[in-house]
Homo-oligomer: A and B are copies of this chain.
Amino acid sequence: MATVAAKAGEAGIVGAAERLGVPLLTYAAADLAQVAVPNPSAAPLAAVGTPSVAEAAALLGAPGGELVVQKRKSAMATVAVARRRPRGRLALVGLGPGARDLMTPRAVAELRRASVVVGLDQYVDQVRDLLAPGTRVLESGLGAEEERARSAVAQARAGHAVALIGSGDAGVYAMASPALAEAGDDIDVVGVPGVTAALAAAALLGAPLGHDHVSISLSDLHTPWDVIERRVRAAAESDLVVTFYNPRSRGRDWQLPKALSILAGHRAPATPVGVVHAASRPDERAEVTTLAALDVTTVDMVTVVTVGNTASREIAGRMVTPRGYRWQS
């Protein structure tokens, strides 16, 4: 409830707020006088110094909101009602690697709750059957990342419950970071983690990520190659298991061989390498090979490549990295 400061002690108003269990907000007449209202009047201007009390106080009490009931007068009181602008919500939802049974229930709940879903068209297709009727879908093609991020934040700012979706984990080489670079503290943000490609691939290969491991993207579209190469060298020299995201595409074909040659400078030719295409999707393929034997032409954009460290072994066709350096030595 909101009114002019001069009425802050009026028994009827104070009692009503108490009975409703809501705080009583009061504003100076000079502040109320600044608010544009549909029905200004000379009477309150003369009595308390503002052309509107009810409508102006309602609007001041609901910043950014709208007047839904204009002033109504009874013998003893005048009221108006404003609706607060709902606080927007942005859920950053990781759908997992592809199979429906690797998507978390929390991700499903966020999709059902959303009034607006924003995402790459192929990920939207993956979950369309989970959306509530009437959900607005803003889908776009590859390469429109910044537009999707801005659009998701703008929809949340307008008060909607938005789900910004991505495959794997939305925070790993994905949409969460450009969206959060735009988002302020004027919206609620909820992150729903998902099974990222490195984990989905590892589960098919055996246990290659049993000890320290790094994820490196070989895409030099947004990152200079010298930054990428420095990280590959660091991984090679410090004996980290490495998972390459975006390892190879048509027209981007020399980066993976170069990265593997750096690793081969520090690891034996027999070091196990896992190659997993489209983990958990219908065209899934997983292979354990070696640094020496890997055929890079089998690798494309939906493949992840995991290179073992000096302790990794192929055991019964599976790729295994021990949990520690004294563990089972």
Contacts and interface: CB of A to CB of B under 8 A. Distances in A.
Interface of A: 92, 94, 96-97, 99-106, 109, 145-146, 169-174, 176-181, 183-185, 189, 191-196, 199-200, 202-217, 219, 221-224, 227-228, 230-231, 233-235, 237-240, 313, 315-318, 320-328
Contact of A180 (B179, B227, B238, B318): B318
A178 B102 CA distance: 24
A131 to B, nearest CB: 18
A259 to B, nearest CB: 12
A102 B193 contact: yes
21 contacts: A96-B104, A97-B193, A101-B109, A169-B199, A169-B203, A171-B208, A172-B213, A177-B320, A178-B322, A179-B207, A181-B320, A195-B195, A211-B217, A212-B228, A213-B215, A222-B325, A224-B326, A230-B238, A230-B239, A231-B238, A231-B240
B199 A180 contact: no
Given A180-B318, A202-B191, A102 B101 contact: no
A192 B200 CA distance: 8
A204 B184 contact: no
A66 B174 CA distance: 54
Contact of A233 (B185, B231, B238): B238
A183 B206 CA distance: 11
Contacts of A174: 210, 323
Nearest to A186: B316
A174 to B, nearest CB: 7
A157 to B, nearest CB: 12
A207 B101 contact: no
A326 B103 CA distance: 31
A206 B181 CA distance: 10
Contact of A327 (B206, B211, B222, B238): B222
Contacts of A196: 199
Contacts of A101: 104-106, 109
A233 B105 CA distance: 39
A138 to B, nearest CB: 20
A206 B177 CA distance: 8
The 7 closest A-B pairs by CB, nearest first: A222-B324, A191-B203, A177-B210, A234-B238, A176-B207, A234-B234, A177-B207
Given A171-B207, A321-B177, A146 B328 contact: yes
Contact of A191 (B206, B223, B240): B206
Given A105-B105, A180-B206, 19 more contacts: A101-B106, A104-B195, A169-B195, A171-B203, A174-B323, A177-B323, A180-B316, A180-B320, A181-B315, A181-B328, A185-B316, A212-B228, A213-B215, A214-B240, A219-B324, A222-B325, A223-B324, A231-B238, A233-B238
